[in-house]
Each structure stands twice: as C-alpha cells, then as structure tokens.
Amino acid sequence: MLRLTGVHTHYGLSHILQGVDLTVGDGEAVALFGRNGVGKTTIIKTIAGWVKPTSGEIEFEGRQIGGWPSERIARAGIGLVPEDRRIFPGLTVEENLNLGFLQCVRRPSGAARREALQEVYANFPRLAERRRQNGTSLSGGEQQMLSFARVLLGKPRLLLVDEPTEGLAPMIVSEIMASLAALKQQNISILLVEQNVEAALKLVSRFYTVERGRLVFEGDAADPADRERAFEAFAV
C-alpha cells in the first residue's frame, strides 16, 4: 500500500534522507529502528508531507503522493501520530478530538460525529471521563491516547506512529502497544518508530534499521538472527 523509492530529503543544505526504499503492505505493521538523529522522524514526516522530499517516489495505494500538501495526504488515508503529540493547549479533550474530523474526506454529519466520538470513548474510557478537561492537563499516557484517538477519527488506512511510548510508565506502554495491536486487527497498516524493540517486535512482522539517512537492514521480526540486528541498531 505504501512504497518509497529512492527518497531524498533535505533541511536547507543538510542532506538528511539519502535514498530511502521502504514498503508497507496492506494491513502490515513495520518498525523503524535506529539511533538518535539518523532520520526516523524525517522519514515519517516526509511520508506525511510535513517535509517535502527533494527527489524519489512515494506511492500510496497506487497514487504518487510525493510533494502533496500534508492535508491532502491525510485525507488520502495516512494518519500521523507525531512524536510531540500536538495536543492543543486551551482546548478540551473533546475539542481536540473534534479537530480529527478535519481529516475526513467528507465532513461527517452531527449524528455521525457523535457516534464516532462514542466509539472513541468506548475504546478510551479515560478520555470520556476527562472530555471537558483541558487536553494539556492530561497525563503523558492520556495525551498519547488523545493523539491516537484524534487521528483515528479521520479513518486512516495507514498510521504513522513516532515513538508513542517515549517517557511513559511500563503499564501505559503495554496499553499503547495493545491499542496498536487492536488497530492492526482492524486491518490498519502501521509504520512504527520505537526505541522499545522488545515491545515493537511483538507487534510488527518486519522492520528496517536506519543509519545516517539510509535503511541499512531489513529484518523478519520472527527470525532470531534478524531480531538480534534490531537490538544492535541502538548499540553505540
């Protein structure tokens, strides 16, 4: 469903992505592993259109989306849960959630929106309890759930998730990983950047390791030798 071929991305004069080739299949979950600053977030942002590729091809469901504005990519079915969660200060949990509908191809009716919100609250009961609370007053784990829930209201078929468990307690990490597993069950494809290799390898079937703006290894999450390589991606 997603294929990157020879993608290069620059920030000004800095050449960050240096020819990235990557695929994510229909309903497949794939991880990106690698040390700080190797370009994992840049790969995610380039796919989502937050950063423009300078060359190469990005194909999603048969269409070339490279260079499209980020809103158009979101509406095409790619959801991004960014590293910093982007909870809007001064807005309640529910107001933050309502922003998720902006990514829908057609703006849903009031009744459809209420139904979708009920569904979110059933999946994330803590958000229901805190719906009238300021979004930024939530705990880190709850903010992460809000960020997920908001993106899901746009009904993405591919979810890009950047370090969702960073800085969270082990119990919350399991909750987040369980939510991702549930989404995979619903046939949503996932591209996950994650430092918790152990947890990520339970979710994904395949992974890539990233070094200096290139994918240097592709591994099978079920293969013991490949799994070693996943852990080594973080060795200094």
Ligand X SMILES: Nc1ncnc2c1ncn2[C@@H]1O[C@H](COP(=O)(O)OP(=O)(O)OP(=O)(O)O)[C@@H](O)[C@H]1O
74 binds ligand X (CB under 6 A): no
Footprint (CB under 5 A) of Mg ion, residues 35-64: 40-41
Evaluate the CA torsion angle 90, 156, 167, 132 in order and state its sign. positive
Minimum gap (Å) between residue 92 Cβ and ligand X: 29
Residues contacting 73, CB < 8 A, separation 6+: 47, 48, 49, 60, 65
What is d(CA 135, CA 127) in angstroms, rounded to the nearest whole number?
9
Q: Which of Mg ion, ligand X, none has residue 36 at its interface (CB below 5 to 8 Å by kind)?
A: ligand X
233 binds ligand X (CB under 6 A): no
39 binds ligand X (CB under 6 A): yes
37 binds ligand X (CB under 6 A): yes
Provide the 3-class DSSP secondary structure of residue 214.
strand
- Any bridge partners for residue 214, and if so which? 211
Cβ-based neighbour number of residue 163 at 10 Å: 19
Q: Output 14 or 109, the one with its CB closest to ligand X.
A: 14
Closest CA to 182 of 14, 2, 24, 29: 29
Q: Output 50 or 101, the one with its CB closest to Mg ion.
A: 50
Among 6, 11, 25, 84, interactor with ligand X by CB under 6 A: 11
Going along 94-178, which residue ranges are E strands?
Answer: 158-162
Minimum gap (Å) between residue 32 Cβ and ligand X: 8
231 binds ligand X (CB under 6 A): no
| Interacting residues toward ligand X by CB under 6 A | 11, 14, 16, 34, 36-42
Enumerate binding residues for Mg ion (CB under 5 A): 40-41
